[in-house]
Amino acid sequence: MHLQLVPWLTAATLCVTLTGICSSSTLSTVSDADRIVSLPGQPKVCFSQYAGYITVHKKQQRDLFYYFAEAEADPRSKPLVLWLNGGPGCSSVGIGAFSEHGPFKPSGDVLRKNDYSWNKEANMLYLESPAGVGFSYSVNNSYYISVDDKMTAKDNLAFLRNWFKKFPEYKNRDLFITGESYAGHYVPQLAKLIVQSKLFNLKGIAIGNPLLEYNTDFNSRAEFLWSHGLISDATYKSFNTICNFSQIIRQRWSDALTPGCSHVLSEALREISNFVDGYDVTLDVCLSTVSSQSAVLNKPQETEKIDVCVPEETVKYLNRKEVQEALHARLVGISRWTTCSSVLKYEMQNLETPTVPILGELVKSGIHVLVYSGDQDAAIPFIGTRTIVNKLAKQLGLNTTVPYSVWFEERQVAGWTQVYGDKLSYATIRGASHEAPFSQPERSLVLFSSFLGGGPLPEGLLSESAVRNNHINITWS
């Protein structure tokens, strides 16, 4: 699904496959009820899959839905990674698992194998949070009226506590928490609670195109659009002198655009047109990416549903009765599964609460923090994110240990990176969108693998002589 411009502004067992022998773990009988025998239309695989519910509040009957894919090979030696999508209010199962870096992607009536699935490197746990998102629910509907970051973090911690009771084999495993977009709030806040509770073996967090600091993140949009030729010099000046993006978004939440802000927005829309995708300005519109989570950042909760484009493959797949039965999922209080919640009323004022100080606390406590950006995203542009990370490093008194430089995926530049001290790092993914693993799956997998391993990103394989011999023109002067 791709959005039009207007919304984004606002005892190991063995199995044999055709490729040889692979292994998957056999977990305790406690988790047997959640084991997925096979998803409709999926190819044969060796790894185990699980899905179901974890209760986070018995009195309100609040249950969070998860999908868990063990590592493709040797899951006992691999870490556990929790993935959270943003919104706020969008699905980690529908976006992260089935559209970005899960083991399969829907294609018509079948699932096709994702060659760049993150469960090649880790045991992947996808959580639909908070309740009201995807298949997660609360029987007490009053819960949905006003959900905030504090409530979400508390429920996510409760989820992990109880999930580990069902999967005790993973309780002492190295744990990493990852996510994107509004997970710039979800991930640090959950990580902070884990550090305070000293419950789990948290090693690091990674957040992509995250909302970290409201004004800096949103106001970097104007420079990004201008530098990419999408708006004129005059409109760029207007964003800097009359009304900036943070003001526009704030006013749109209250449905009260001032004349000045309305004029600036109208001019920007006219110049950009309705045929450029704000979540990847290099892509044509209506390509198969998942962007709806991002638009929630720009719209009040009471506005009409976001108009999205093709494809609807994931939505169609997850709404098939046989698929829901295979996933042990149920619809409670809703008639259809949706990518982003239609019942949850999130406290949007939380967007203005910076999470950068929490990142600093995590670094000080010894948690590895990776912040990365798909560099073609105009929703949360790398310009603002890079500025925020640089400022944080200075505040923490961290010296640059790896200067700003390119990193590679095979023989091509995959992005740029900078490392501060030994716990804070930043990277861009070249040519990637807001949902970087969707648009640049190979490069994203390389970044993910390096993050888990705690090693540097790959350096280039081409020597100067190889460049000359291959007649590659890299002249800049």
The pLDDT of residue 475 = 54
Residue 338 forms part of a structural domain: yes
Is the Cβ–Cβ distance between 213 and 352 less than 8 Å? no
Domain residue limits at 378: 5-215+314-452
Instruction: Using pLDDT thresholds of 50, 70 and 90, give the confidence band for residue 473.
Output: low
Q: What is the model's pTM?
A: 0.90
Residue 228 forms part of a structural domain: no
The pLDDT of residue 306 = 27
Residue 10 forms part of a structural domain: yes
Instruction: Using pLDDT thresholds of 50, 70 and 90, give the confidence band for residue 26.
Output: low
Mean pLDDT, the chain, as a whole number?
A: 88
Cis peptide preceding 130, ω within 30 of 0: yes
- Mean pLDDT for the stretch of residues 94-117: 93
Residue 471 forms part of a structural domain: no
When divided into structural domains, the chain yields a total of 1
- Mean pLDDT for the stretch of residues 184-188: 98
3-state secondary structure the chain: CCECHHHHHCCCEEEEECCEEEEECCCCHHHHHHECCCCCCCCCCCCCEEEEEEEEECCCCEEEEEEEECCCCCHHHCCEEEEECCCCCECHHHHHHHHHHCCEEEECCEEEECCCCHHHCCEEEEEECCCCCCCCEECCHHHHHCECHHHHHHHHHHHHHHHHHHCHHHCCCCEEEEEECCHHHHHHHHHHHHHHHCCCCEEEEEEECCCCCHHHHHHHHHHHHHHCCCCCHHHHHHHHHCCCHHHHHHHHHCCCCCHHHHHHHHHHHHHHCCCCCCCCCCCCCCCCCCCHHHHHHHCCCCCCCCCECCCCHHHHHHCCHHHHHHCCCCCCCCCCCCCECCCCCECHHHHHCCCHHHHHHHHHCCCEEEEEEECCCCCCCHHHHHHHHHHHHHHHCCCEEEEEEEEEECCEEEEEEEEECCCEEEEEECCCCCCHHHHCHHHHHHHHHHHHHCCCCCCCCCCHHHHHHCCCCCCCC
The pLDDT of residue 403 = 96
CATH number of residue 46's parent domain: 3.40.50.1820
Give the residue carrying structure tokens 């002198």: 241
- Mean pLDDT for the stretch of residues 355-384: 97
The top-scoring range by mean pLDDT among 286-290, 318-322, 464-468 is 318-322
The pLDDT of residue 277 = 79
Burial of residue 20, with CB atoms counted within 10 A of its CB: 0-12 exposed, 13-18 middle, 19 or more buried: exposed
CA nearest to 212, candidates 390, 435, 402, 414:
390
Choice among 15-24, 191-200, 352-361 with the minimum mean pLDDT: 15-24
Instruction: Using pLDDT thresholds of 50, 70 and 90, give the confidence band for residue 255.
Output: confident
The pLDDT of residue 5 = 33
The pLDDT of residue 299 is above 70: no
From residue 335, alpha-carbon distances to 134, 135, 137, 324, 330 in Å are 11, 11, 13, 13, 10
- Mean pLDDT for the stretch of residues 101-110: 91
Residue 189 forms part of a structural domain: yes
Residues 6+ apart with CB under 8 A from 186: 84, 86, 88, 129, 149, 152, 153, 156, 179
Choice among 135-139, 195-199, 274-278, 350-354 with the minimum mean pLDDT: 274-278
Choice among 3-7, 53-57, 316-320, 417-421 with the minimum mean pLDDT: 3-7
| Residues recognised as catalytic | 181, 377, 434
What does the buried/exposed string (b/e) look like for 381-399 if buried means 16 or more CB atoms within 10 Å of the residue's CB? Answer: bbbbbbebbeebbeeeebe
Instruction: Using pLDDT thresholds of 50, 70 and 90, give the confidence band for residue 63.
Output: very high
The pLDDT of residue 281 = 85
The pLDDT of residue 122 is above 60: yes
The pLDDT of residue 9 is above 80: no
Residue 131 forms part of a structural domain: yes
pLDDT tens track for 389-420:
999 999 999 999 999 999 999 989 999 999 99
The pLDDT of residue 10 = 43
Residue 232 forms part of a structural domain: no
Residue 37 forms part of a structural domain: yes
Length of the chain: 477
